[in-house]
Amino acid sequence: MSPSSQDPAGAESVLSARAETGDAGDPDAPERGETRDRDPQGRALDGTGQQLPMRHAPVIHFRSGDGTEGAESVELPRRYEFRDTEDGRQLVCKEAPGVFVRVERSLVFSEQEARRLGERTILLDGVGAFAPLVDGAAHLYNLDHHEGCLRAFTLASCEQALVLVLKGLELGRGDWSIYANEPDLDTVFAIWTLLNYRRLREFDDEARDRIVPLLRLEGAIDANGFEVAEFCGLPQAALRREKARLDRLMQDELEAKRSGIWSNSDPAEYTLELLCEIDRMVYRPSDFQDFASIEEEYGHVDIGSGKVAVVCRDGAGIYDVEKRLKKVWGDRLGIIALEREAQHYTLRRAAPLSGIDLTGAYERLNVLDPAVDGRPAGKRWGGSEEIGGSPRPDGTGLTPREVGKILKLAFRRVTPVEHLQKALTAVSWALLLLISSAASIVAWRFFEPLDRPTVLGGPIELAVASGVLLLGAAVATLRLSRGWTWVYGWRSPAGRQWWVVALPALLAAAAGGALVPARTDAPLLHAVGAMLAAALAVELCLRGLVHGQLVLDNRLSTTGLSWFVSRPNVVAALLHAALVPILGAVWLPLTSWPVESWLRWPTAAGIAFVCGLLMGSVRERSLSLWPCTLLLFLGALARWLIEPWWLG
C-alpha cells in the first residue's frame, strides 16, 4: 500500500481529517453507544419495532504497502475469511479458528444483555453500553473506554486487547465471540490483536517494533486526542514513521466518508480487508514458512472434554491434514471429518488416548443420513474406532454443516432427566392427538343425523377418528422434522432383516394389536378403507412422530447392528398399549372377547404392547413406516375376517 504522504505534515493532515469525521478520540467528543431499542441479538430496531437491515455496498478496496518510503507490496497468506455459522456470517482467522468476530453497526448491548450472550464474550469499543469489565469467572470482557470510566486515564480498546493477550487470556480454550460495531482503527487493531494472539506472544524484537508502536500511537489518539499523541513515548523519528503508517491505514476510510459511501459500506468486509493490510505492515513472508492451511474449513463443533470435531475439505490425505490441523488446534483436535471428494468423507480420531470412539458417530450418521437407505445393506458409514468413512460408492446425503451437527450429537452426554423430558414431550404430542381423535368420535355422534344413526364403532366412526389422528400426526411431523422426514420413517423400506419379525408382528396385530370396526351392513370396502386409515394413522403417530422425536438421543436397533429393544421403541409400544383400549372402548370386538370381563382391558393392553414392540422392530430394521403400516393393516383385516368364525 503506497503512502499518500511521507512527511509529518501529510500525516498531520490525516489526523486533522480524523478530527473532522469524529474519529480523533477527543475526550470531549460525544459518547458512542447510543441507546436504541434492540432485539435479543443486539440488533437495533426502528421506530416500528422492525430490525434495521444490514447495509451492503461496494467494498472499500485497499492498496498495498506499509506506509513507509520505498515500501512494496508484500504477498502473504490470506488468513482471514468469512464463515457461515448458525449465528450468521462471521469473520475468522485460520490461525485462531475458535475465535469468531461479528461486525455490525447496530450492535449495542447493556450489561444484562451481554451476560445473556454466553460465556467467552468480548465486546469492543462501544458495543458494551456499560463500564469496562473484566469478568474472568463468566469470561465476559468489555473493552471500552467511553461509559462508566475516567476516559483520560483509560486505555483504548486496542491497548486493552493487547494487555489481555499478554496477560495470557486463554483464547485457544473453547469458542470465543467478539462483537464490534463501527470498524474504526482502534476497533480493528483490537480485533487483529485478539486474532493474532499466538503470534503476538512469540514476536521477536523486530516484529514487536512493527506493531507495538502502531498500537500505542493509535491508542493514545483514540483515548485522549491529538495533543497527547505527541507524548506517547515514541522518539520523533519513530513518531513520524508511525503517523505515516496510520495515515495510510486511515486513507481509504476517510475517502469513503468524504464520498458518502462509508455509512452504506459493509463493515465486516472493510474489517477483513483492513486486517489483511495490517498483516502486510507487520509480517514478512518468512514469518509464514510453517503456516498450516486447509483448503476450506467448513466449521467445528464441541464434542466434550475440551475436544472439537473439525469438518473440512482438502485434496491431501487424512494424515497430512491431521498434521496441519494439529498446528492450529493443538490438543483440542478430537475428530477430523475430511471431504476429499464431493460428498465423500474420511473420519479420523485425532486424539488416540482421549476415549473417543467413532462407533457411536457411525451409528448416529447412519440413522440420520438420507443416503443410508439399506440398498445395498453395506451402504453405510463405518470403519474402526479410529478411522472410517462415508457410504460407498455414492457418498453421503448430508451437508458439511449437518455432518458437524451429527458428530456433536453423537458425543453429547444426555442425562436421565433430559431423556425423561424428551420422552414426556413426545408422549404429550401423542396424547394430544389421541384425545383429539377420541373427541372427534364424540362430536360425530352428537352431530350425526337422527334419522340415520351410525352404528357404534362402525367403519364410519373408525374412519373419522383415524382421519383426525392421521392429519394431526402428519402436520406435527412436517413441523417438527424441519425437512428431515426420513428420520420419522417417511422413506422406502431397506433390506430384508425386518422379515424376521414380520410374521410375529402380523399375528400380534391380528390377535388384538390393531383397531377394527364393528360389523355392520356397510359394504366390505368401507370396513377395509377404515382399517387402512387406522393402521396408517397409528403408525404415523407412534412409530413416526413419537419414535422420530426420540431418535436423536438414543441408539436404535437398525439394519447391520445387533438386535435389541431401543428406548424409542419401548415408549411408542407403551402408547400403543394405551391407544387400543382407549379408542377401542366403543368397538364391539373388545367387549365380545371370550375372557372374563376384568381381564379384557389388561389383555388388550398386553397384546397391544407386544404388537407395538414388534412393529417398532420392523420400523427400525426397515428404516421405514410403510412395512409396519402394511402389517398392521393386514393383521386388522385378518382379525375382521376371522373373528366371526373365532367367536362361533
Query: Does residue 200 or residue 150 have the better pLDDT?
Result: 200
C-beta separation of 329 from 302 below 8 A: no
Taking only Cα atoms into account, the Rg of the chain, rounded to an integer number of angstroms, comes to 33
| pLDDT(225) > 80 | no
Q: What is the mean pLDDT of residues 441-451?
A: 68
CB 345 within 8 A of CB 337: yes
Please check whether residues 352 and 453 belong to one and the same domain. no
Q: Count CB atoms within 10 A of the CB of residue 627.
A: 24
337 and 268 co-located in one domain: no
Is the pLDDT score of 532 beyond 50? yes
Q: Is residue 3 part of a domain?
A: no
Check whether residue 363 and residue 426 sit in a common domain: no
Residue 356 is assigned to a structural domain of this protein: yes
More confident residue, 448 or 540: 540
Determine, yes or no, domain membership for 105. Answer: yes
Q: Which residues of 344-363 are buried (b: 16+ CB within 10 A; e: fewer)?
A: bbbbbbbbeebebebeebbb
Q: Is the pLDDT of residue 84 over 50?
A: yes
Q: What's the first-to-final CA gap in the chain, in angstroms?
A: 99
Please tell me whether residues 354 and 250 are part of one structural domain.
no
In a domain, 265, yes or no: yes
pTM flag (> 0.85): no
Domain boundary among 287, 308, 328: 287
Domain limit, last residue, from 231, 255, 287 = 287
Give the domain range for residue 579.
416-647
| pLDDT over 50 (residue 51) | no
User: Which is more confidently placed, 418 or 16?
Assistant: 418
- Preceding peptide of 393 cis, ω within 30°: yes
Q: Please, which residues bridge with residue 268 across strands? A: none
- Number of domains within the chain: 3
Q: Kindly state whether residues 89 and 235 are assigned to the same domain.
A: yes
Q: What is the CATH number of the domain that holds 388?
A: 3.10.310
Question: Residue 480: inside a domain, yes or no?
Answer: yes
Label residue 473 left, alpha or beta by phi (over 0 means left) and psi (-120 to 50 means alpha).
alpha
In a domain, 174, yes or no: yes
pLDDT of residue 325: 92
Looking at residue 37, what is its pLDDT? 46
396 and 454 belong to one structural domain = no
* Co-location of 130 and 211 in the same domain: yes
pLDDT band at residue 449 under the 50/70/90 scheme = low
Asked if pLDDT for residue 9 goes beyond 50, the answer is no
Query: At 102, which helix (H) or strand (E)?
Result: strand 96-103
pLDDT at 504 over 50: yes
DSSP letter (8 states) at residue 571: H
Same domain, 322 and 431: no
Task: Give me the pLDDT at residue 582, please.
Answer: 67
Looking at the structure, tell me whether residues 484 and 396 fall in a common domain. Answer: no
**Strand locations in 507-572, DSSP E?**
none
- Pair 49, 99 in one domain: yes
Residue 2, in any domain of the structure: no
Give a yes or no: residue 46 inside a domain. Answer: yes
Alpha-carbon span 595 to 415, nearest angstrom: 43
Task: Grade residue 629 by pLDDT with cuts at 50, 70 and 90.
Answer: very high
Last residue of a domain, one of 351, 382, 410: 410
280, 2 in Cβ contact below 8 A?
A: no
Residue 560 confidence (pLDDT) above 90: no
> How far is Cα 218 from Cα 207, in angstroms, rounded to an integer?
18
Average the pLDDT over each of 172-181, 317-326, 444-453, 520-529 and give the range with the smallest value.
444-453
Asked if 274 and 305 sit in the same domain, the reply is no
Lowest mean pLDDT among 8-22, 77-91, 418-432, 621-635: 8-22
- Residues 404 and 420 both lie in one domain: no
- Number of Cβ within a 10 Å radius of residue 419: 14
Whether the Cβ atoms of residue 362 and residue 381 lie closer than 8 Å to each other: yes
